[in-house]
Amino acid sequence: SAASREAIRAIRDWAVNGPVARPTPRSANDFGRLVFSDAVQRIKLPRDVYKRLRRTINRGEPLDESVADAVAVAVKDWALEHGATHYTHWFQPLTGITAEKHDAFLSPTPDGKAVTEFSGKELIKGEPDASSFPSGGMRSTFEARGYTAWDPTSPPWIYKTASGTTLVIPTAFISWTGESLDKKTPLLRSIEALSKQAVRVLKLFGSKADRVTTTCGPEQEYFLIDAHFYYTRPDLIGAGRTLFGAKPPKGQELEDQYFGSIPERVLACMREVEDELYAIGVPVKTRHNEVAPSQYEIAPIFEQANVATDHQMMVMETLKRVAPKHGLACLLHEKPFAGINGSGKHVNWSMGDSEGNNLLNPGDTPHDNIQFLVFCAAVMRAVNKYQGLLRMSVASAGNDHRLGANEAPPAIISIFLGDMLTGIFEQIEKGATRSTTHGGLLETGVDVLPKLPRDAGDRNRTSPFAFTGNKFEFRAVSSNQSIAFPNIVLNVAVADSLDYIATELEKAVEKGADFEDAVGKLLVKLTKENKQIIFNGNNYSDAWQKEASKRGLLNLRNTVDALPQLASAEAVKLFEAYKVLNKRELEARLEINLETYNKSINVEAQTMVLMANRYILPAALGYLTQVAQSVAAGKAAGVQSKEAKKLLVHVTKLVDAFKQRTEALTIAIAHEGNGESLKHAKYMRDKIVPAMAALREVGDAIESVVPSNDWPLPTYREMLFIK
C-alpha cells in the first residue's frame, strides 16, 4: 500500500539521519524535577503548614482551610516559577481515561489589569461540568453537577510540553450527593479499609505499626509501529486493533524478539517517554523487547498504590503522546494483532507497614514467618472467596482476546505459590492436626521459610495470580485498563480476610488461648478452606480446565459472563461492609461496564463494515476483473489456462462470500439494544462477535490472493517487521 511505501521511506531516512534531537544527559536531579514533592513541600511551605499537610498525607488527618490556603499559595508560586499558566484538577472518571479542564491562574482586576490567583478553595475543590461523564444512572442530567476534590496523598506535578505548561492536581470526582463517579475515590477507601484491618492483625503480633500501605508496581506491555501504518488503518484508529489482517509468513515463532536489542528509533522514543515520566516523578526503571514482534515493556519501581495508579495512567498517556514525535504509534490494546501475543499489565502487589516492613516478605525468624504466613493466607482466602470479583475486575471486550487464549492467563482465577510455599501450607495442615502442642507448627513448617527462593527460578508464566518471592503478581490485568479496579478488589477482599483473621484471633486470645497456638489452628482452617485456589501447574492446559471445574472454581470465559459479579449480593455485602462502594455505586459501574462493552463491539463491527465496503471489496473486485480479463484474453487468443479459470472461480467465490458476510454483519448491527444492557451485551457476544469473525475469515483469504500493489491496507508483515 501507499502507506507502506511512505513508512519505508521514513524508516530509511531515520536510519541514515538519526533522531532529530540527541537526548540530553540525565542526572539523578532530574527525577521528580516537576513534582511538588515532599522535598519541595518542605522548602516551600511554612513549617507548621508542612507538618500538618504531612499528617494529612501520612495519617489521613483532615485538612482545614487555612492550611489549604497556605499550600495553595506555595504551590501556585512554585508552578509559576516553572512557567505554568494554568492549573487543572485531574481526575479519573469511569470512562477508562483521565480528564482535565484547564483554568488560568490569571484573574482580571477592576482596574483593567490582572493578577495571578489561586486559593485554598480552588486547590481543594473544582466543579467541572460533569454531565457528559458516565454515571451509570446515578445522576440524572438535571443534577448533573459533580465536583473534584484534591487528593493530597498524590503530589501535584507540572505538565510541561512545548505547547503549554499546566499545574496538575490529582483529584477525586464525586457527585453532589456524595457518590463516587471515579476510580480514585473507591481506591482510597479500599486502601484505608485494608490498612485498618491489617493493623489489627499486626497488633496481635506485637507490632507498633499504625498504618499499612498497599504497594503496587505495574508492568506495561505495548506495541510500537510506524505511524504511517497507523494513520492508514481505520481499525487501528477507531478500535485500537486490527479487525482484518492475514497471518504473515513469519510471526513470533522464532522467538527472536524477546529481550532482543531494541531498535534505535524505538529506543529514542522510549528515552523521551522516560525523560518525561522522570520529570513528573514516575520511577520508570525497566525497558525491554517483549515476546511478539514490535512489542515492548516499560516497568516502574513500585509505589504506594494510589500514586502508582495515577502514575500508571501517566505512563499510558505519555507513551501515546510521545510516540508520534518519533514517527511511531503506540498501541495499548490487549490484542492489536491476531495470531501473536497480546499485551497485559502485570500488577505486582504487596502490603507495607509504617515500620518499613513488607508484609509479604518471608522473615528471618520463625516469629516473623508465622506473621508472613498469616498475611499470605489472608491473600489466599481473599482470592479464593472473591475469585469472581477479581475475574470481573479485568474483564473487557479487549481482554476477551487474551484471557483463556493460549498465551495469557486463563479466565479461571487461581494462585501460584510455588512448590516450597505450597509444601509448607500442606505441612501446616497435616502437622497441626498431628500435634496441637506449642511449637509443633514451627518445627514442621515455618523454620524452613527463610530458604524460600526469591529469584526467577521458581516462576510460572501461566498463572493469573502468582507469588513472586515477596509480592503477588496479578497477571490477568490488561494492557489498556486502569489498574484502579483490580487494586480496589484486591484491597477490599484482603481487608475482609484480615478482618476475619483479626476477629478470630482476638476472640481466641480473649478466651485465654496461647497466641501461636491460635494462629496455628487458624492457619490450618484457612488452608483447608482455601487450598482449592492453589494451582502450580500449567494454566493453559485442558487438564486444568477439567480440574478447576472439579474443584468448583469459577470459569467466567468472557466479559459478559464476568461483569454481573460486580453487583452480586456477595459483592454488595463486601463493598458495603468496608464502605468502599455502595449498592448504587456498584450497579452504576456494572451498567457503565456493560455499555462500554456494547459500544466497543459496536464500533468494531461498524468499522469492519466500513473497511469491507470501501477498502477490501473494491480491491477484491479489481482483482476479479483482472483475472476475468486474462481468462477472456486467453480465450480470445485460443489458449485457455485451466488454472486461470480455476482462479477466476475461486476469487468469484471469495467475493460472493465476502459480500454476503458483510451484509449479514450489517443486518446484525442494525439490531437495536432495547435499553437492557446485559441482554444487549449477550447479543453482541453471541451474534455480532461471531459475525465479525466470519467476515474476517474471508477478508483475510482475499488479502492473501490480491496483488500486493493493489492491497489498500498495510499488512501484518509490514506493520510488524518494518521498523
Say which entry of Mg ion, ligand ADP, none residue 216 contacts (CB below 5 to 8 A, set by partner kind).
ligand ADP
What is the binding site for ligand ADP (CB under 6 A)?
215-217, 219, 299-302, 348-350, 358, 456, 468, 470-471
- C-alpha–C-alpha distance, residues 467 and 474, integer Å: 9
Select from 367, 350, 334 the least CA-distant residue to 558.
334
Q: 334 and 410 in contact (C-beta within 8 Å)?
A: no
Give whichever of 238 and 283 is closer to ligand ADP, judged by the CB atom. Answer: 283
- C-alpha–C-alpha distance, residues 594 and 347, integer Å: 24
Give whichever of 135 and 309 is closer to Mg ion, judged by the CB atom. Answer: 309
Say which entry of ligand ADP, Mg ion, none residue 632 contacts (CB below 5 to 8 A, set by partner kind).
none
Residue numbers 337-396 binding Mg ion by CB under 5 A: 346
Closest separation in Å from C-beta 599 to ligand ADP: 32
Select from 508, 511, 355, 516 the least CA-distant residue to 442.
516
Say which entry of ligand ADP, Mg ion, none residue 302 contacts (CB below 5 to 8 A, set by partner kind).
ligand ADP
Say which entry of Mg ion, ligand ADP, none residue 193 contacts (CB below 5 to 8 A, set by partner kind).
none
Say which entry of Mg ion, ligand ADP, none residue 162 contacts (CB below 5 to 8 A, set by partner kind).
none
Give whichever of 175 and 497 is closer to ligand ADP, judged by the CB atom. Answer: 497
Give whichever of 285 and 430 is closer to Mg ion, judged by the CB atom. Answer: 285
Closest separation in Å from C-beta 349 to ligand ADP: 6
In this structure, what DSSP letter does residue 105 have?
S
DSSP alpha helix (H) spans, 101-258: 120-124, 184-204, 227-231, 234-239
Closest separation in Å from C-beta 540 to Mg ion: 18
- Who contacts 520 (Cβ-Cβ below 8 Å, separation ≥6)? 428, 432, 436, 440, 441
**C-alpha angle 596-600-606 in degrees, rounded to nearest 5:** 140
| Helix, strand, coil share of the chain (percent; to 5) | 55, 15, 35
Select from 309, 318, 301, 88 the least CA-distant residue to 185.
309
Give whichever of 70 and 191 is closer to ligand ADP, judged by the CB atom. Answer: 191
Give whichever of 220 and 357 is closer to Mg ion, judged by the CB atom. Answer: 220
Size of the site for Mg ion (CB under 5 A): 1
Give whichever of 214 and 559 is closer to ligand ADP, judged by the CB atom. Answer: 214
Say which entry of Mg ion, ligand ADP, none residue 301 contacts (CB below 5 to 8 A, set by partner kind).
ligand ADP
Say which entry of Mg ion, ligand ADP, none residue 251 contacts (CB below 5 to 8 A, set by partner kind).
none
Say which entry of Mg ion, ligand ADP, none residue 300 contacts (CB below 5 to 8 A, set by partner kind).
ligand ADP
Say which entry of Mg ion, ligand ADP, none residue 369 contacts (CB below 5 to 8 A, set by partner kind).
none
Closest separation in Å from C-beta 341 to ligand ADP: 16
Closest separation in Å from C-beta 217 to Mg ion: 9
Closest separation in Å from C-beta 288 to Mg ion: 11
Give whichever of 146 and 218 is closer to ligand ADP, judged by the CB atom. Answer: 218
Closest separation in Å from C-beta 454 to ligand ADP: 9
Partnered with residue 289 across adjacent β-strands are 296
The packing angle between helices 184-204 and 484-510, to 10°, is 30
- C-alpha–C-alpha distance, residues 353 and 213, integer Å: 6
Partnered with residue 158 across adjacent β-strands are 167
Give whichever of 475 and 589 is closer to ligand ADP, judged by the CB atom. Answer: 475
Closest separation in Å from C-beta 299 to ligand ADP: 5
Cα R_g (the chain), whole angstroms: 28
Instruction: Extract long-range pairs of 199-202: CB within 8 Å, 24+ residues apart.
Output: 199/353, 200/498, 200/499, 200/502, 200/506, 201/374, 201/375, 201/378, 201/498, 201/501, 201/502, 201/505, 202/353, 202/359, 202/371
Q: Residue 259, exposed/middle/buried by CB under 10 A (0-12, 13-18, 19+)?
A: exposed
Give whichever of 304 and 602 is closer to ligand ADP, judged by the CB atom. Answer: 304
Closest separation in Å from C-beta 459 to Mg ion: 9
Give the 3-state secondary structure of residue 63.
coil
In this structure, what DSSP letter does residue 114 have?
E
Closest separation in Å from C-beta 291 to ligand ADP: 13
Closest separation in Å from C-beta 188 to ligand ADP: 18
Q: Count other C-beta atoms under 10 Å from residue 25's C-beta.
A: 6
Give whichever of 326 and 346 is closer to Mg ion, judged by the CB atom. Answer: 346
Give whichever of 52 and 346 is closer to Mg ion, judged by the CB atom. Answer: 346
- C-alpha–C-alpha distance, residues 313 and 483, integer Å: 8
CB half-sphere exposure, 393, CA atoms < 13 A: 29
Closest separation in Å from C-beta 275 to Mg ion: 24
Say which entry of ligand ADP, Mg ion, none residue 217 contacts (CB below 5 to 8 A, set by partner kind).
ligand ADP
Residue nearest Mg ion, Cβ-based: 346
Residue numbers 328-347 binding Mg ion by CB under 5 A: 346
In this structure, what DSSP letter does residue 292 have?
S
Contact status: 52 vs Mg ion (CB under 5 A): no
C-alpha cell at 418: 510455588
Residue nearest ligand ADP, Cβ-based: 217
- Interface contacts to Mg ion, rule CB under 5 A: 346
